[in-house]
């Protein structure tokens, strides 16, 4: 009975519903607090797993973030001390099938080995406990996951389940991937922090990709502070200390359709940062972003048609949206793809010059808060340009619109600059 009460207190009955609003509060689970408690012996890895299991049992009938649970997760050892980890279901996890949110893989057998990125997190001390909902092959057709911050709203996608699992406190750490805006958007919509690793950081073996020149790894935590800790553990490097007065280029992204609440949130964040000594100047070249935003879908469609050729051959069992992407992508010629890649390479050079004397670009992580409804996952347009370049990006959260829906701020770093980016993210988080 005591255990049952305990579960209820932390579970569904424990959520606070704001009167007259659709917003519910599910507290995320701080990775740093958990690691501190584990280090101090106030809890054990087995208890952390049990807490995760109990939280999932309480909340997942509503949230639908998970597709598979490992019956007996093997406790990992390493700096993360065995904390529970969620794995997006396009990433192989030994002992569980990789179904990719697709009817085509409904009967997939259990993977026999971990993906390289899972091995890396396991070596860092994270314990994979199961697989989370992805949109169909990490494109747009959504799974059943609800947004923990507003259950009638999309959690975003494609890493829908991983974002919801962290936002609802089911796990303190979850893996995603991003080809367009599949990590940044769900982090922003669910009100949590995320890091998209630079393109090429860690191999993609064992990940069912969509567009090899665009696919990047991602990770979700409750806060940028937690991201810094996770990154340190993953890479065996010291934690980046907060950069409280960064030099930032402010990208308003107004040409990409930002709503008023998001504009105000960016404005306020930049004002607070400036008050604290940050130097914020305007991002000078919207044309560069426009060119990249245009080139990105061409590269993505071209590569997806070739990377997922097997699925293209069975397109009758795909959503019309994905089938259309693959079919139109197959009709894009090598020459057109080369031209789009050339735009990207040229833009990369120009951006490097623009940003060389700043710590990061700061801008909206999404056009606004999560749209209402579960049948679409929102617009990734705020990520296309940066993802075309393969830059590391982070989402910092903490702001809400007048309805209480989360708004995410995006930070874009330099190539190979994850550590410095996370230092900036920690600094911005405080603002």
Give residues in contact with a copy of itself (CB under 8 A). 140, 255-257, 290, 293-294, 297-298, 301-302, 315-317, 319-321, 323-325, 327-333, 335-337, 340, 371, 373-376, 379-381
- 419: three-class secondary structure by DSSP: helix
- 16: three-class secondary structure by DSSP: strand
Q: C-beta of 218: minimal distance to a copy of itself in Å?
A: 19
Place of tokens 């069992």: 317
Is the CB of 219 or the CB of 298 nearer to a copy of itself?
298
Taking alpha carbons only, the member of 101, 156, 178 closest to residue 374 is 156
Is the CB of 117 or the CB of 292 nearer to a copy of itself?
292
Q: C-beta of 364: minimal distance to a copy of itself in Å?
A: 13
Is the CB of 239 or the CB of 294 nearer to a copy of itself?
294
Peptide bond into 19 cis (omega under 30): no
* Whether the Cβ atoms of residue 191 and residue 167 lie closer than 8 Å to each other: yes
* E strand or H helix that includes residue 395: strand 393-400
Q: C-beta of 136: minimal distance to a copy of itself in Å?
A: 12
Is the CB of 132 or the CB of 293 nearer to a copy of itself?
293
Q: C-beta of 404: minimal distance to a copy of itself in Å?
A: 21
Q: Which residue among the candidates 52, 88, 159, 216 is catalytic per the annotation?
A: 88
* Whether the Cβ atoms of residue 363 and residue 382 lie closer than 8 Å to each other: yes
Active-site residue flag, 141: no
Active-site residue flag, 131: no
* Whether the Cβ atoms of residue 377 and residue 328 lie closer than 8 Å to each other: no
Q: Which residue among the candidates 162, 177, 182, 194 is catalytic per the annotation?
A: 182
Give every CB contact of residue 148 below 8 A, 6+ residues apart in sequence: 24, 26, 59, 63, 155, 164, 167, 168, 190
Q: Phi and psi at residue 106, in whole multiples of 5°?
A: -55, -35
Q: C-beta of 42: minimal distance to a copy of itself in Å?
A: 44
Q: Which residue among the candidates 158, 159, 160, 232 is catalytic per the annotation?
A: 158
Q: C-beta of 373: minimal distance to a copy of itself in Å?
A: 4
Tell how strand 173-178 and strand 216-221 pair up: antiparallel
* E strand or H helix that includes residue 311: helix 309-312
Give every CB contact of residue 259 below 8 A, 6+ residues apart in sequence: 367, 368, 369
Is the CB of 72 or the CB of 375 nearer to a copy of itself?
375
Q: Environment class of residue 216 by beta-carbon count within 10 Å: exposed (0-12), middle (13-18) or buried (19+)?
A: buried
Is the CB of 85 or the CB of 301 nearer to a copy of itself?
301
> 10 Å Cβ neighbour count for 379?
18
Is the CB of 223 or the CB of 379 nearer to a copy of itself?
379
Place of tokens 């699992």: 165
Q: C-beta of 199: minimal distance to a copy of itself in Å?
A: 20
Residue 357, phi-psi category: left (phi > 0), alpha (psi -120 to 50), beta (remainder): alpha
DSSP class of residue 323 equals H
Active-site annotation, residues: 88, 158, 182
């Amino acid at each position: 009975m005591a255990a049952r009460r305990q579960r209820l207190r932390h579970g569904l009955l424990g959520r606070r519903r704001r009167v007259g609003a659709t917003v519910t509060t599910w507290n995320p689970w701080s990775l740093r607090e958990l690691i501190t408690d584990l280090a101090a012996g106030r809890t054990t890895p087995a208890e952390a797993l049990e807490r995760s299991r109990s939280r999932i049992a309480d909340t997942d009938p509503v949230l639908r973030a998970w597709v598979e649970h490992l019956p007996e997760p093997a406790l990992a050892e390493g700096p993360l001390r065995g904390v529970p980890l969620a794995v997006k279901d396009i990433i192989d996890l030994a002992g569980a099938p990789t179904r990719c949110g697709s009817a085509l893989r409904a009967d997939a057998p259990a993977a026999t080995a971990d993906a390289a990125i899972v091995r890396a997190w396991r070596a860092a001390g994270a314990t994979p406990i199961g697989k989370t909902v992805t949109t169909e092959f990490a494109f747009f057709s959504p799974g059943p996951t609800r947004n923990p911050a507003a259950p009638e709203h999309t959690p975003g996608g494609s890493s829908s389940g991983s974002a919801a699992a962290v936002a609802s406190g089911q796990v303190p750490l979850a893996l995603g991937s991003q080809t367009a805006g599949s990590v940044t958007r769900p982090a922003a919509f669910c009100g949590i922090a995320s890091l998209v690793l630079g393109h090429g950081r860690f191999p993609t073996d064992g990940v069912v990709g969509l567009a090899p020149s665009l696919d990047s790894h991602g990770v979700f935590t409750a806060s940028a502070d937690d991201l810094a800790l996770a990154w340190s553990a993953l890479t065996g490097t010291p934690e980046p200390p907060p950069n409280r007065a960064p030099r930032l280029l402010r990208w308003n992204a107004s040409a990409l359709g930002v709503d008023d609440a998001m504009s105000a949130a960016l404005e306020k964040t930049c004002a607070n940062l400036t008050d604290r000594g940050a130097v914020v100047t305007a991002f000078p070249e919207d044309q560069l972003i426009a060119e990249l935003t245009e080139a990105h879908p061409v590269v993505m469609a071209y590569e997806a048609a070739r990377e997922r050729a097997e699925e293209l051959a069975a397109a009758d069992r795909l959503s019309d949206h994905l089938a259309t992407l693959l079919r139109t992508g197959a009709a894009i010629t090598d020459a057109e793809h080369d031209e789009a890649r050339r735009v990207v390479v040229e833009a990369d050079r120009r951006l490097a010059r623009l940003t060389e004397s700043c710590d990061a670009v700061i801008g909206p992580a999404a056009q606004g808060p999560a749209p209402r409804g579960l049948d679409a996952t929102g617009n990734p347009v705020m990520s296309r340009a940066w993802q075309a370049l393969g830059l590391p990006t982070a989402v910092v959260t903490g702001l809400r619109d007048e309805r209480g829906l989360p708004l995410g701020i995006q930070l874009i770093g330099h190539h190979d600059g994850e550590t410095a980016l996370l230092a900036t993210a920690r600094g911005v988080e405080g603002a």
